[in-house]
Amino acid sequence: MTDKNEPGSGSSPADDWADALAEQSRANPPTQADGLKPA
């Protein structure tokens, strides 16, 4: 992510939150990302 939510960038804090959530889900297996115990 290169967007730091600087004034005038046209982005919102929710964008960073969504990006961070997406990065987390990509970095972890679906079972762990969903909070379930791995089989």
Residue-wise pLDDT for 3-35, tens only, equals: 665 665 556 777 888 888 888 777 666 665 566
- SS3 per-residue string spanning the chain: CCCCCCCCCCCCHHHHHHHHHHHHHHHCCHHHHCCCCCC
22 vs 36, residue with greater confidence: 22
14 Cβ contact list (under 8 Å, min separation 6):
none
- Report the sign of the C-alpha dihedral through residues 14, 16, 18, 24, in that order: negative
Is the distance from CB of 4 to CB of 13 less than 8 angstroms? no
Provide the pLDDT for residue 14.
76
d(CA 32, CA 5): 29
